[in-house]
Structures are given as C-alpha cells and as structure tokens.
Chains A and B, each alone.
Chain A
Amino acid sequence: MDHLTAETFDQNARDALRDPILHGALRNLADNFAERRRSAMASVDDWEGLRGKARCIKEETLLHLDKYLLEFVKNAEEAGVKFHWARDGKEACEVVLDLIMERGAEMVVKAKSMAGEEIHLNEVLESAGIEPVETDLGEWIIQLAGETPSHIVVPAIHKTKAQIAQLFVDKIGIEKSDDVDVLTKTARNILRKRFAEAKIGISGVNFAVAETGTMLILENEGNIRLTTGVPKTHIAIMGIEKIIPRFADLDVFLKLLPRSGTGQRLTAYQSLLTGVKKKAADEGPNEVHVVLLDNGRSRMLSHPVTRQSLACIRCGACLNACPVYQQVGGHAYGSVYPGPIGAVITPQLIGLSRTKQLPYASSLCGACREVCPVKIDIPELLLHLRAEITDGTAAGAVAETPVKRKFFESLAFRAYSQAWASPKSYKFGLRTARLMQKFVARKGKIGEVSGFVARLLPPLGAWTAWRDAPVVASRSFREQWKAGLDSDM
C-alpha cells in the first residue's frame, strides 16, 4: 500500500479533515490523555523542578555526547555486548540483516522501536525473505493492516474498534467480535507461539546509562520482556542520543516518561539490561548486539536550537496536546515521527527540501512546549526551520541549498518594516487600510476575498481563504487615549 509522504502535508491534512472515521478514532485522544497526564503529574512533588532537571541532564549529555557515548560502549562491552555503528539507516539495516542471516533465522520477533521504524527495517527484512513479527499489540494490528504507525505511543490510534474487529475477521479468520478483551486474547495466543519459536528478538532502547552500560526499556504489555528474554539472540537498535550519564539519573526519567506518555506513575514493566548472562545455565539471551544509529543526529548538535531535538524521550505528549495533530492524525505528517516533534525532527532527518510544509504544520500555540517533559521549545525550532526555508539565514544543522525568497515577498516585507518604523508612515498606512477595507468588510470583519482583490493582495486572499480577517478599528487606541477615554464610554 502507498504511504503518505511529508512533501504533501497540506493535501494530506485536508484529506484527513474530510475523514469521519479518523475523527471517530481520534475523538477521545486529547481528553483521555490530558486527564490521565494531569492526575499522574499531581503525584510528584515538584513537576517543574523535575522537568528542569531532566533537561539539564540531557543538555549535559549532548554537550559531551562523544565522551558519554564511548563510556557507555566501553562499559557495556565489558559486560559482553557487541556494538555495531551505523551512520545511516541503510547501514543499520545491513548490520541487522547480516546478524540474522549469519544465524540462519527466517523469522524475528520485534518489540516496538521508533528507531526501527525510522530505518524501515521491516521492508528490508521482508525483501530479504525474513519475516518480521511485530509483537506490540498496536504495531501488530497495523502490520496486519499493512499500514504505518500514526502515534509514537499508541501506533494504531487512527483505527476504530470496528475496523480492527473486521481486520481480525479478514486476516485471522476469527468470528467477528468487538470485545477488546477477545481481540487482545486472540493476539496473545497467536503471538505466544511466535515468541516460543523465535531465535532472534529485536527491540529499541529508551535510555542507555553511560556509567554502567545499562539499557532501560519501558513497556506495559510484556512483549519487550519476551523479546529480550526468550530468544537466543537480542538485537537492540538505539539512536546515539539515548545516553544518560549516571544510573541515578534514571530516577528522573522514570518519573517523567510514564506520566507524560500514558499518564501512569510507572508502566507495568521496566527492563534494565546490562550485558550478557554470566553462565550458560542462566536465563536470558546468549548474545546481545546493539546497533548505534546516527542517521542525521550528530548534525543536529551543530546549533543550540536544533540540538534540543535530541533531548526528546519519545513520550508522545506533544502529539496529544497539539490541536493540529488532534484534527489530522499522524499519517498526514508522512513520517514515522508525527505531531509537533515530528514536524521538527523529520526535516532534520530527511532534509528540508522534501519536508517544506512540515514546519508550517503548526499554529505556534505552544501547547507542545507546555507539556514537553524535557522542555523542548518546539515553537522555537519550528521558527528556526521556517527561517531556514525562507532565507537560509538560520545557520546550523539543516545545511542545504537555501530556498530563494521570492522577489515580491521580499519587497513587501521591506516596505512593511519601513512603514512600521516611523509614526507618520504607520498612521498613513492605517488611514489607507480604513479607507480600502470599506470595499471588502462586512459586519465588522473581512470574509473570503477572491477575484480581483485577492489577486491584488495575495496575502489577504490566502488569509481569508480559511478564516475571517479582523477590520482596522475606526479609531486607534492612541486616538481614543488622546481624546480622553471617558468621552468614549
């Protein structure tokens, strides 16, 4: 099936707005998550202090990422982990494929991993004749449907229960049931057989502790514990930004991530994995391989604004809070990372030339910044990328050929800044606007402008195509002030 691309966000969003089934699926998202998150936040003493501390730890790590990354590798290697460095997604897929081929496996069980999605590992495995079995319930559902995830935490949020019930009838051949427990049990029974026979398990990583070489993975279902505990070989794929310096830092992130992601005090399971088992008779895999993925991340370090993107802990809170995401869902973003964080990460990962509409997929309301547990200033990042698009002045990570600003646009902005720079020309501008708006204003606002006027003033046409424009008041605040406010009451 064809997947949407980021290049056509505007069109994707328009199509999504006309999709009543999608709206049905998304309708509970905002309220449900906001409420759960609020009550979970209240169960810590100093939420703001915690956010500040988390951001500091991330900033400290990123400013010394080379040091902490090498420290993590050294300590995990001493505990028996084998490392594989991958500059891009292609290299990462090749490494994973080689490991699978060498072990003669025809099937792998997979726990949800955003890094795995990012490098499109499943497609690569399938084309090599290896069956990747997604085991997270949501991921398994969309794999059955041949779709891509639309949310970082709840991958199948775009599907209704009725759609999933029908999918199970079509693909598995069970009797139709829209009882969530029945659907869940069905998945459990099918996937347990796959866990029992799998030779290789592939997972992601949430945090990697430099000090001890420990990898921490959080979950609710138990499929990650099975993936990393039952097969003989465990392969973990992690972005190089997942590092935190000290074991004690886990306390901060274990308080923030579950509360922000699902509104829980703690998810059902955390696995803290350090190296390979000591004796053959011990439980756990015989070998652990970790693929360290760069894929554009090191480039994001080259500016303080873009560097923030690497502090993200993939909780999904910004998606749930975003008025744009709530309306258009995740697929419109055409990327494995949707929502506000996707709008800033995707352009940096795959380049602005293919993602020009994404930095504009926001009203800059700032809800994402409010909820972010690591205080990423997403609106600042969006503006940074917009500046990069319009004139290439924002230096740093997204170094590409700048898009040339249009001549008239540039002229208009210069005139605008001139006019606003002196009181005289400002007043003249206001008077002119008051005079001219008589032709287009109705009932104190300007509705959709089309035809000749829209051609004359393209920005007005573009603005009013989607919402009314306010009219200039008949008397300005300063004029009223001068005349004496009382006389106007």
Chain B
Amino acid sequence: METRSDTYNRTARDSIIASIRRGLATSAPFDAEHQKHHRPATSQEMKLGAPLPAGLDLIEGFKASLELVGGKFCLVSDLNEAAREIRSVIGNIGANDIAVSDSTLVASAISAISDRQFRVNVPSAELFNCDLGITSAQWAIAETGTLVLESDMESHRLTSLIPPVHLCLIKATAIRQTLGEILDLIRRDLSRAVTFITGASRTSDIELTLAIGVHGPGELHVIVVND
C-alpha cells in the first residue's frame, strides 16, 4: 500500500530531477559561450607507463607493497607450512579466542592444528571479545599490497575487522598486478560487499601523528600459499 510518505518522496524526487534538468537547460547557452574561451574538458589520452617487465614476480611485488604499509608477509609452499605459520602467530600474540571465517582454504590449513579452538562464523557481538580473526581473501593487488574480500564468496566482512589482529591466507594465483585488473574481475559477479584492505587500521587525526589500530586490526598478517 502506498503511504503518504511514499507520495511525498516521489514529489521530492520529481522536483529534484526537474531542477537538475532546468539547471542544465539554463547552462546550455553559457556552455556555448564558455567553450569559445576555454578548452573543452575532453579527455587527453593518458600516457601509459612502461609495460611491466615480462615475468614480473607478482608475489615479490605484493610483498614489497604490503610491507610498505606495515603488513607482515609470509610465503609458504603448502598448507602444513601455513599451519605452522598460523600457530606461530597465535603463539606470538597469545591468542585464546580465535574466530575464523567459513573459507575452505582456512579450514584445510587449521585442520592440522588440533590443540586449538577455532570458532567459525562468530556473531558480531562476540567478535568484539576475540583476539584473532583468520580469513581468506579472493584477490590481492601487487602494486598496492591490497587484499580484496568478496562477501558472496566467504563471510569474512567482520572477522577481518573486529578482532585486534587479522591473519589472511591467500593463494598465490589470486594476486594480480593492478587495481584496474581487479575492478574488472570483481565487476563480473559483483558481491554485495567488496572490501579492499591495505595494511592495518590507522589514523593521523591527532597532530597528524600516525597511530595504528584505531578501530580495525592493529596487525595484519598475510600468508601466501604457493602450492
């Protein structure tokens, strides 16, 4: 049933659209005049940078970019090695309450760790008490050191955000060089929420002094599985 506010909303919409069209119509003659004195804002073709050297190592590139923003990088050649790395991060931060996403990659890696409790799909209210969140990511960008999380593929939106440490497992084959390539890939089957993560949570709001871990994780560990 249509309510009064629906009618009101439609009136507001019509009036804004009409106002936009009125504005553009008023501008048309001025635009003609303006173009006589100004170069039109046509797109100059962008100069492209030098082509990437053949066989450029995406893993090395990702590592360098990630470390530039303070992320911790680790390369492993199989899931057993990944499990050892996860165990070492857990030990180093003394994590007790560990949340994991529903990623199959994460599940197979932690299956080798039997003396620890991992809770899958922890409700958000309880995530605030967790010490560590472990997720995967669907893609990564080498030029910026960015992890790309697609919500339709895995429920990692909050597990990667709320605990003070985020550990992310990713397949080496998921790394691409540029942001543009990634936008093209995720566009095809766009998830409801896509999250780009580049380093730990940070702020410079007090006297432009950098502080790490303000609302999101203060530590980001990425384990790249190259098997």
Interface residues, chain A, with chain B CB atoms under 8 Å away: 25, 28-29, 32, 45-46, 49-50, 52-53, 55-56, 59, 63, 65-66, 69-70, 79, 83-87, 91, 98, 135-138, 141, 154-157, 160-161, 164, 180-181, 183-185, 187-188, 191-192, 195-196, 212, 214, 220-223, 225-226, 229-230, 240, 247-248, 250-251, 254-255, 262, 265-278, 282-284, 292, 294, 298-305, 307, 375, 395-397
- Minimal beta-carbon separation of B177 from chain A (angstroms): 13
| Contacting residue for B195 out of A269, A278, A300, CB 8 A | A269
Measured between C-beta atoms, what is the minimum distance from B154 to chain A in Å? 10
The answer to whether B208 and A240 touch across the interface, beta carbons within 8 angstroms, is no
In the complex formed, the residue of A with least CB distance to B160 is: A225
Q: State the interface size on chain B (CB cutoff 8 A).
A: 76
**Per a CB cutoff under 8 Å, which of B15, B48, B69 touches A46?**
B48
| Contact of A181 with B205 at beta-carbon distance under 8 Å, contacts A87-B12, A192-B128, A226-B161 already known | no
Given contacts A164-B206, A269-B216, A282-B155, whether A276 and B41 have CB atoms under 8 Å apart is no
Contact segment of B56-64, B88-96, B105-113, B179-187: B179-187
Q: How far is the CB of B147 from chain A (nearest CB, A)?
A: 10
Residues of B within 8 A of A (CB): 5, 9, 12-13, 15-17, 19-24, 26-27, 30-31, 34, 38, 41-50, 65, 69, 124-125, 128, 143-144, 146, 151-152, 155, 157-158, 161-162, 179-180, 183-184, 186-187, 190-209, 211, 213-217
Q: Knowing A154-B208, A161-B206, A274-B190 touch, does A248 contact B180 (C-beta < 8 A)?
A: yes
Q: Which residues of A contact B201 (CB under 8 A)?
A: 220-222, 268-269
Q: How far is the CB of A54 from chain B (nearest CB, A)?
A: 10
Given contacts A277-B192, A284-B151, contact A269 B27 (CB under 8 A): no
Q: Are B23 and A137 in contact (CB under 8 A)?
A: no
- Asked if A32 and B208 sit within 8 Å, CB to CB, the answer is yes
* A203 CB → nearest B CB, Å: 13
Complex-state Cα separation, A327 to B5, whole angstroms: 47
Residues of B within 8 A of A277 (CB): 151, 192
| Residues in B neighbouring A46, C-beta threshold 8 A | 46-49
- Nearest-neighbour CB distance to chain B for A104, whole angstroms, equals 18
Given known contacts A138-B205, A262-B204, A395-B30, A69 and B214 CB-to-CB distance under 8 angstroms? no
Residues of A within 8 A of B27 (CB): 301-304, 307, 396
The docked-state distance in angstroms from the alpha carbon of A370 to that of B137 is 39
Point out the residues of chain A lying under 8 angstroms from B5, CB to CB. 98
Residues of chain A lying within 8 A (CB to CB) of residue B179: 251, 254-255, 266
A399: nearest chain-B partner, CB-CB: B26
Residue of A whose beta carbon sits closest to that of B41: A59
Q: A137-B203, A156-B205 are in contact. Are A66 and B216 (CB under 8 A)?
A: no
Residue of A nearest to B144 (CB): A266
Are the C-beta atoms of A65 and B20 separated by less than 8 Å?
yes
Cβ contact within 8 Å between A136 and B190: no
Contact of A305 among B12, B34, B143 (CB under 8 A): B34
How distant is the Cα of A470 from the Cα of B76 in the complex, in angstroms? 72
Taking each of B69, B152, B207, B214, which has the highest tally of chain A beta carbons within 10 Å of its own beta carbon? B207
B12/A275 in contact, CB under 8 A: no
Cβ–Cβ contact B198 & A66, under 8 A: no
Distance (Å) between the CB of B14 and the closest chain A CB? 9
Tell me if A266 and B146 are in contact (CB < 8 A): yes
Q: B42 touches which one: A25, A56, A222 (CB < 8 A)?
A: A56
Nearest CB of B to A482, in Å:
35
Question: B110 CB to closest chain A CB, in angstroms?
Answer: 20
Contacts of B44 in A (CB 8 A): 49, 52-53
Q: Does B161 contact A229, Cβ atoms closer than 8 Å?
A: yes
A283 near B216 (CB under 8 angstroms)?
no
Cβ–Cβ contact B215 & A222, under 8 A? yes
- Distance A274 CA – B48 CA, assembled complex (angstroms): 31
Complex formed: what's the CA distance from A254 to B39 in Å?
26
Give chain B nearest CB distance to A291 CB in angstroms.
10
Asked if A299 and B23 make an inter-chain contact with CB atoms under 8 angstroms apart, the answer reads: yes
Question: Which of A49, A196, A266, A294 has the most CB atoms of chain B within a 10 A radius of its CB?
Answer: A266
Docked Cα-Cα span, A268 to B161, in Å, equals 12
Sample of 8 more A-B contacts, CB < 8 Å, known A55-B41, A292-B16: A53-B46, A155-B205, A180-B207, A196-B124, A220-B203, A229-B157, A229-B193, A375-B41
Known: A154-B205, A223-B215. A248 touches B184 (CB 8 A): yes
- Could you give 28 example pairs across A and B, Cβ below 8 Å? A28-B207, A45-B46, A49-B45, A50-B46, A52-B44, A65-B20, A184-B213, A196-B124, A221-B203, A221-B214, A223-B214, A225-B157, A248-B183, A248-B187, A266-B146, A266-B179, A269-B197, A272-B194, A274-B190, A277-B192, A283-B155, A284-B151, A298-B22, A299-B23, A301-B23, A302-B30, A303-B30, A304-B31
Contacting pair A222 B161 (CB below 8 A): yes
Cβ–Cβ < 8 Å partners of B205 in chain A: 136-138, 141, 154-156
Indicate if the CB atoms of A270 and B192 lie closer than 8 Å. no
Q: Which residues of A contact B203 (CB under 8 A)?
A: 137-138, 184, 220-221
Task: Give Cα A56 to B21, complex, Å.
Answer: 20
Contact of B16 among A56, A85, A188, A268 (CB under 8 A): A85
User: A160 contacts B207, CB within 8 Å?
Assistant: yes
